[in-house]
Structure 1
Amino acid sequence: MSDWLHNLPVPMMALVIFGFTYFLAALVFVAVALAATEERAKSLKAISPGMLPVLGIIFGLFVAFTAAQVWGDSDRAGAAVSREASALRSAVLLAAGLPAEQETKLRGLVRDYVGQAVAEEWPMMAHQEASLKATPPALADALKLVVTMMPQGRAQETSQREIVAALEQALDARRQRIIVSLASVNSVKWWCLYLQALCELLVIGFVHCDNRLGSAIAMGLFATGVATSVLLIAAHDRPFTGQISISPEPLRQIMPEAPTGHS
């Protein structure tokens, strides 16, 4: 599905998806009604109603497999953001064991990194444009600062080692969230999902071709189920896109405060 649909508010997304699905069901209803003439009605009625549960089960499996991917991507994205925030928080806390000048520089670099991630990377991830080609300058400078520092005593040496590990963990978590931001349900899966739904609608229409009201009710109910399933998947399809998306709030919460001036 395209960016414009994923970026719609959920009520508008629901309107588009339900409208399209009901339109598809209406087309099938009209097509079956036109095809079910007196000569053809008997042939259409000869289609076994036993196909309905079989096709319904296959459609349900399609939904389950697609939803499993979406839930997995969402869980991995949330875990990556939480792990990144936790690693950065650990680095900031451990900075207290460094000399005052290095501590101030490290806190400032972490603050710059968080600001860049929130202001630049999140909008890029929402449009699936984030890239792993470049390392964030602030985090690279933070690593360089800590690695090149000459520790004075075992305490600073331990702090240095732990801070480097925390910053490397934050970099790895960032890589994971960017990779997950590029994931989405591809067009082949969407086409297969709706094609299977179309097959089910056709069989409903054929089986009930002599009962227009019953056919309309059955098609409407199934179309509602299809639209509900598609809406649920589409709303969560891209973890960092749309109204229901993972926010950078965990990173904002751990952002070090800017140093205050002294008079």
Structure 2
Amino acid sequence: MSDWLHNLPVPLMALVIFSFTYLLAAMAFVAVALVATKERAASLKAISPGMLPVLGIIFGLFVAFTAAQVWGDSDRGGAAVSREASALRSAILLAAGLPAEQDAKLRGLVHDYVEQAVAQEWPMMAHQEASLKATPAPLAEALQMVVTMAPQGRAQETTQREILAALEQALDARRQRIVVSLASVNAVKWWCLYLQALCELLVIGFVHCDNRLGSAIAMGLFATGVATSVLLIAAHDRPFTGQISISPEPLRQIMPEAPGRS
């Protein structure tokens, strides 16, 4: 699905998806009505109603298969952001064991990194444009500073090692969230999902071709179930896109004060 649909508020997204699905059901209903003439009605009625639960089960498997990917991506994205925030918080706390000048510089670099991630990377991830090619300058500078500093005593040596590990963990968590931001349900899965739904709608129409009202009600109910399933998946399809998306709030909460502030 395209960016414009994923960026819609959930009510508008629901309107688009339900409208398209009901249109598909209406087209299937009209097609069955045109085909089910008096001469062909007996042949269409010969289609076994036993196909309905089989096709329904296959559609349910398609939904479960697609939803499993979506929930997995969402969980991994949320975990990556939490891990990144936790690692940066650890680095800030450990920086208290460094000389005052280095402590202040590290806090300032972490502040700049978080500010850059929220202001620049989150919008880029929402449009699936974030890249792993470049390391954020504040985090790279922080790593370089910690690596090159000369510790005074074993306590500072231990602190240096722990801060370095925390910054590397934050960098790894950033890579994970960017990778997750590029994930989405591909077009093949969407086409297969709707093709299976169309097959079910046609069989409902064929089985009930001699009862137009019953056919319309059954097709409408199934179309509602299809639209609900698609809306649930589409609203969570891209973990960092849309109204229901992973927020940078954990990073904001651990962001230290900007340099020069109390």
- TM-score normalised by structure 1 residue count: 0.99
Report what 1:81 is aligned to. Answer: 81
- Structure 1 spans left out of the alignment, 5+ residues: none
CA distance in 1, matches of 2:124, 2:52: 44
Query: Structure 2: which 5+ runs fail to align?
Result: none
Other-structure match for 2:149 = 149
Give the secondary structure class of the aligned counterpart of 1:178: helix
Output the CA distance in 1 between the equivalents of 2:34 and 2:79: 53
Q: Distance in 2 between matches of 1:258 and 1:7?
A: 32
What is the root-mean-square deviation in Å for CA atoms of aligned residues? 1.0
Cα distance in 2 between the residues matched to 1:69 and 1:230? 14
Deviations 1:59-95 (A, max 9, x none): 0000000000000000000000000000000000000
1:145 CA drift (Å): 0.5
What displacement does 1:258 show?
2.0
> What are the Cα deviations for residues 195-217 of structure 1, in whole angstroms up to 9, with x where unaligned?
00000000000000000000000
- How far does residue 256 in structure 1 lie from its aligned partner after superposition? 0.3
Distance 1:262 1:239, change over 3 A: closer
Identify if the C-alpha distance between structure 1 residues 262 and 162 changes in structure 2 by more than 3 Å, giving closer, same or farther: closer
**DSSP-derived class of the 1:19 partner:** helix
Corresponding residue number in structure 2 for 1:58: 58
Distance in 1 separating the partners of 2:258 and 2:222:
56
| Alpha-carbon distance change, 262 to 242 in structure 1, aligned in 2, over 3 angstroms | closer
Q: Residues 195 and 152 of structure 1: is their aligned pair in 2 closer, same or farther, counting only changes over 3 Å?
A: same
Q: Distance in 2 between matches of 1:35 and 1:41?
A: 8
Between the aligned partners of 2:160 and 2:147, the Cα distance in structure 1 is 7
Matched residue, 1:221 = 221
Once the two structures are superposed, residues 132-191 of structure 1 have per-residue CA deviations (whole angstroms, 9 ceiling, x without a partner) of: 000000000000001100000111111100000000000000000000000000000000
CA distance in 1, matches of 2:56, 2:162: 55
> Could you say what secondary structure the match of 1:226 adopts?
helix
Between stretches 130-139 and 250-259, larger displacement belongs to 250-259
For 1:220 and 1:68, the matched residues in 2 are separated by 26
Structure-1 separation of matches of 2:207 and 2:41 = 9
Q: Deviations over 1:86-130 (max 9, x none)?
A: 000000000000000000000000000000000000000000000
Q: 2-side partners of 1:224 and 1:166: how far apart?
A: 48
* Shift in Å, 1:239: 0.2
Equivalent-residue separation in structure 1 for 2:257 and 2:60 (angstroms): 50
Between the aligned residues of both structures, percent identity stands at 90
Give, in whole Å, the separation in 1 of the partners of 2:258 and 2:57: 57
Q: Provide the C-alpha distance between the structure 2 equivalents of 1:262 and 1:61, rounded to a whole number of angstroms.
A: 56
How much does 1:43 deviate?
A: 0.4
1:231-253, Cα deviation, whole Å (9 max, x unpaired): 00000000000000001000000
Distance 2:51 2:258 in 1: 66
Residues 130 and 262 of structure 1, relative CA distance in 2, 3 Å threshold: closer
Shift of 1:262: 9.0
Per the normalisation by structure 2, the TM-score is 0.99
Aligned length: 262
